[in-house]
């Protein structure tokens, strides 16, 4: 079996996606992958079309690990979000081919089921505490047992996860954010939610890397009485040692990892047990091949997984998340989103959500497909993530 064609498909059924279709010389056998990097989609598409696709023609798609290492090491300047996202697209398509050839769902190739479904969470937000409370209640009514809670911060413009942000448009929208009102507001939010909703529903919060180490330690400590499921992304990803400050001041569980691109970025947080949940994005760390290695390392240090699952990765990656979730012993929780109908039209086969859990497809491979004709109906549209600034005009973390 050989690879005889690699198709890169850029489409925008609501937001931009970079999809990959690897076609083999066996009639009708192909694999689908997702190589979407929000805000830099065309950079990944160019890397695939101009540099990586030509290297794949004529290779045996069954040799996933060898192809992974060949692409990762072959550039010499390895790693980084663009190349690791491109590699993820290739990797997912190869696993899809392997499953289809074996006539088995991918989770079976990863060792089989450890659980029937994957506990998942949804997002709740609002302009004030009452709106957040209503949003959490609506999620609970839909069967969710774990909910992320965000709220708009007084005096700040475009608070992450609160009233929502503009992700489309040619020029990046700008948000204004300040730490002082944020640090006052978030403990009050969770005091309100626990008083009104009790302890039965699991709640957590996403800082989105906006705090200094001592600010994050203060927040984590003040949130201890409300027993968060975890505090997500409290610090920037660059300086791993900063997590020691946070860990030494609080027992609030910590989740981190969506901005990492290799297992080596995760290592100090895992081996020093500085986090409780590793939440890399399978679409940005090289796919299933790298994620299962990260999960295996994490298992040794009692760290659970909480893979990134936003709307800016395609259903193919969401499917890969769930296949891995149900096949590893140290799974924790899975982020999910409800895609608009246009996304399902272009990429049928997303995991099914029932009663607060995601269920993998029983179809061979990952269970997703690409409708190329439908994809052509939704051409690429330039879009950027927002830029966050402090009140004095300086650029801050997103």
Is 308 an active-site residue? no
Q: How many domains does the chain have?
A: 2
pLDDT of 250 above 50: yes
State the distance between the two ends of the chain, measured CA to CA, in whole angstroms: 45
Q: Are residues 143 and 217 in the same domain?
A: yes
- Within a domain: residue 147? yes
| Mean pLDDT rounded to a whole number for the chain | 95
Q: Which CATH number belongs to the domain containing residue 348 in this structure?
A: 3.20.20.120
Q: Which is catalytic among the residues 121, 160, 182, 378? A: 160
Q: Are residues 210 and 241 in the same domain?
A: yes
- Within a domain: residue 305? yes
Q: Are residues 100 and 114 in the same domain?
A: no
The answer to whether the beta carbons of residues 314 and 21 sit under 8 Å apart is no
Q: Are residues 356 and 226 in the same domain?
A: yes
Is 160 an active-site residue? yes
Average pLDDT over residues 245-265: 96
Q: What is the pLDDT of residue 142?
A: 96
Q: Are residues 79 and 127 in the same domain?
A: no
Q: What is the pLDDT of residue 291?
A: 98
> What are the backbone angles phi and psi of residue 123, rounded to the nearest 5°?
-105, 135
Q: Which is catalytic among the residues 123, 192, 205, 208? A: 208
Model pLDDT for residues 331-387, shown as the tens digit of each residue: 999 999 999 999 999 999 999 999 999 999 999 999 999 999 999 999 999 988 888
Q: What is the pLDDT of residue 163?
A: 56
- Give strand pairing partners of 9: 19
Q: What is the pLDDT of residue 166?
A: 45
- Within a domain: residue 373? no
- Within a domain: residue 381? no
Q: Are residues 93 and 120 in the same domain?
A: no
Q: Are residues 350 and 236 in the same domain?
A: yes
> What are the backbone angles phi and psi of residue 360, rounded to the nearest 5°?
-75, 155
Closest CA to 92 of 291, 376, 280: 291
Model pLDDT for residues 43-70, shown as the tens digit of each residue: 999 999 999 999 999 999 999 999 999 9
Average pLDDT over residues 204-214: 96
- Within a domain: residue 397? no
Q: What is the pLDDT of residue 170?
A: 59
pLDDT of 168 above 60: no
Q: Which CATH number belongs to the domain containing residue 35 in this structure?
A: 3.30.390.10
- Within a domain: residue 394? no
Q: Are residues 153 and 188 in the same domain?
A: yes
- Give strand pairing partners of 228: none
Residue 392, token pair as written in the block: 């004095």
- Within a domain: residue 31? yes
Computed over its alpha carbons, how large is the radius of gyration of the chain? 21
Q: Are residues 95 and 196 in the same domain?
A: no
CB atoms within 10 A of CB 225: 12
Q: Are residues 206 and 282 in the same domain?
A: yes
Q: Are residues 154 and 65 in the same domain?
A: no
Which helix (H) or strand (E) segment holds residue 324: the answer is helix 315-325
Q: Are residues 165 and 292 in the same domain?
A: yes
Residue span of the structural domain in which 65 resides: 3-104
Q: How far apart are CA 309 and CA 230, in angstroms?
A: 16
Residue 270, token pair as written in the block: 């895992």
Strand runs labelled E in 97-250: 118-126, 146-151, 174-176, 202-206, 231-232
Non-local (6+) Cβ contacts of 210 within 8 A are 160, 177, 179, 182, 388, 396, 397, 398
- Give strand pairing partners of 125: 150
Model pLDDT for residues 270-295, shown as the tens digit of each residue: 999 999 999 999 999 999 999 999 99
């Amino acid at each position: 079996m050989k690879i005889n064609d690699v198709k890169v498909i850029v489409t925008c059924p609501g937001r931009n996606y970079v999809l990959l279709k690897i076609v083999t010389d066996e009639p009708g056998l192909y694999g689908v992958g997702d190589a979407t990097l929000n805000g830099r989609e065309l950079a990944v598409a160019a890397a695939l079309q101009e540099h990586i696709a030509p290297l794949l023609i004529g290779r045996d798609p069954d040799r996933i690990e060898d192809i992974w290492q060949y692409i990762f090491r072959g550039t010499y300047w390895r790693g980084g979000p663009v190349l690791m996202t491109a590699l993820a697209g290739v990797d997912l398509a190869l696993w899809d081919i392997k499953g289809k050839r074996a006539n088995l769902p991918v989770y079976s190739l990863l060792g089989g089921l450890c659980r029937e479904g994957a506990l998942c969470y949804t997002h709740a937000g609002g302009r004030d505490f009452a709106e957040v409370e209503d949003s959490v209640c609506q999620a609970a009514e839909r069967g969710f047992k774990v909910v992320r809670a965000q709220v708009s911060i007084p005096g700040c413009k475009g608070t992450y996860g609160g009233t929502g942000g503009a992700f489309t448009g040619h020029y990046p929208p700008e948000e204004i954010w300040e730490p002082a009102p944020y640090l006052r507001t978030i403990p009050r939010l969770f005091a309100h939610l626990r008083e009104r909703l009790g302890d039965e529903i699991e709640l957590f919060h996403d800082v989105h890397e906006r705090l200094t180490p001592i600010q994050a330690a203060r927040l984590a400590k003040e949130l201890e009485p409300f027993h968060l499921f975890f505090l997500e992304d409290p610090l920037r990803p660059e300086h791993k040692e900063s997590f020691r400050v946070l860990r030494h001041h609080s027992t609030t569980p910590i989740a981190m990892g969506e901005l990492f691109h290799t297992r080596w970025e995760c290592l100090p947080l895992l081996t020093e047990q500085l986090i409780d949940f590793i939440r890399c994005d399978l679409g940005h760390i090289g796919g299933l091949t790298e994620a299962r290695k990260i999960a295996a390392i994490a298992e040794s240090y009692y760290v659970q997984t909480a893979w990134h699952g936003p709307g800016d990765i395609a259903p193919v990656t969401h499917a890969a998340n769930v296949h891995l979730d149900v096949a590893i012993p140290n799974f924790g929780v899975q982020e999910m989103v409800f895609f608009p109908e246009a996304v399902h039209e272009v990429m049928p086969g997303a995991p099914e959500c029932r009663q607060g859990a995601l269920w993998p497809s029983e179809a061979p491979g990952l269970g997703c497909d690409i409708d190329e004709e439908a994809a052509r109906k939704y051409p690429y549209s330039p879009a950027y993530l927002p830029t966050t600034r402090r009140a004095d005009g300086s650029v801050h973390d997103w």
